[in-house]
């Protein structure tokens, strides 16, 4: 089937820029033909279901595909904290200390968050390599924040985390989103940053909040200009 990229983005209720980026990255079963998308409806439906996304090729979605609708990465980081000296001898202890930094959530919601984070880690480590982990719940919290929040944490000492490259983790980005769509949007933008070796080296210096946010804003501008 061939449809305009805009129509497919609307059908998935995703920003057009996200769909275009995922096509370039090979993360979505769509081929691009100019301004049009070529795909198998059945394959796209299976992919959407696996990623907890709705698909309605009949249209009817609101025109809300601008990236600012879902918010910027740096805004999500600014809503969270930058915490240094996170202690813990293993992933469970580190995550417990990380959750303690999320003091804008009520205690009972923080308890739920910790349980969901540990449930996610038991399925597969969120350590993505290069000393970085992106812990997150598999699904939104029962009482999520109104807007996405990313809490950036630097550990006191590197900790074994079961990461994909077996390297110990010293940098964690705790991602809390109100919807799956927000989560995927921000995860994609964060992944763009941490694929850059120079940015990873920069993170190893444990920058303060202002310096970190300025660097992330530079990456987002570069991404939006693609």
Domain ranges of the chain: 2-65, 70-224
Residue found under tokens 């919601």: 109
Compute the distance between CA of residue 6 and CA of residue 214 in angstroms, rounded to an integer. 31
Q: At what angle do helices 197-204 and 180-194 cross, to 10 degrees?
A: 90
pLDDT attached to residue 24:
85
Q: Of 2, 161, 174, which is closest to residue 83 (Cα–Cα)?
A: 174
Compute the distance between CA of residue 30 and CA of residue 15 in angstroms, rounded to an integer. 15
**CA 138, 143, 145, 147 torsion-angle sign:** positive
Compute the distance between CA of residue 137 and CA of residue 150 in angstroms, rounded to an integer. 12
Bridge partners, 30 (sequence order): 39
Do the beta carbons of residue 96 and residue 113 sit within 8 Å?
Answer: no
Tell the CATH superfamily of the 70-224 domain: Mannitol-specific EII; Chain A (3.40.930.10)
pLDDT block averages, 10 residues each, the chain of length 226: 86 88 86 83 79 68 48 93 96 97 93 96 94 93 91 97 95 94 89 93 96 93 80
Strand, coil or helix: what is 2? strand
Look at the domain 2-65 and name its fold.
Arc Repressor Mutant, subunit A (1.10.10)
Bridge partners, 152 (sequence order): 82, 173
**pLDDT (tens digit per residue) in 169-225:** 999 999 999 888 888 889 989 999 999 999 999 999 999 999 999 999 998 888 877
User: Is the overall model pTM greater than 0.85, yes or no?
Assistant: no
């Amino acid at each position: 089937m061939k449809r305009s990229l805009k129509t497919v983005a609307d059908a998935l209720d995703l920003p057009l820029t996200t769909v275009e980026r995922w096509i370039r990255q090979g993360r979505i079963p769509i081929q691009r033909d100019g301004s049009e998308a070529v795909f198998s409806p059945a394959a796209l439906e299976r992919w959407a279901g696996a990623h907890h996304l709705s698909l309605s090729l009949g249209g009817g979605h609101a025109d809300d595909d601008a990236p600012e609708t879902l918010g910027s990465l740096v805004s999500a980081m600014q809503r969270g904290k930058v915490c240094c000296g996170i202690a813990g001898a293993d992933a469970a202890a580190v995550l417990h200390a990380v959750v303690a930094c999320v003091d804008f959530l009520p205690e009972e919601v923080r308890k739920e968050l910790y349980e969901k984070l540990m449930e996610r880690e038991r399925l597969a480590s969120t350590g993505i390599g290069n000393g970085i982990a992106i812990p997150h719940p598999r699904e939104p919290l029962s009482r999520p924040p109104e807007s996405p929040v990313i809490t950036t944490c630097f550990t006191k000492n590197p900790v074994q985390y079961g990461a994909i490259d077996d390297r110990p983790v010293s940098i964690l980005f705790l991602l809390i989103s109100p919807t799956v769509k927000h989560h995927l949007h921000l995860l994609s933008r964060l992944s763009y940053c941490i694929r850059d070796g120079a940015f990873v080296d920069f993170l190893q210096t444990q920058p303060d909040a202002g310096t970190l946010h300025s660097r992330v804003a530079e990456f987002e501008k570069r991404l939006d200009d693609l």
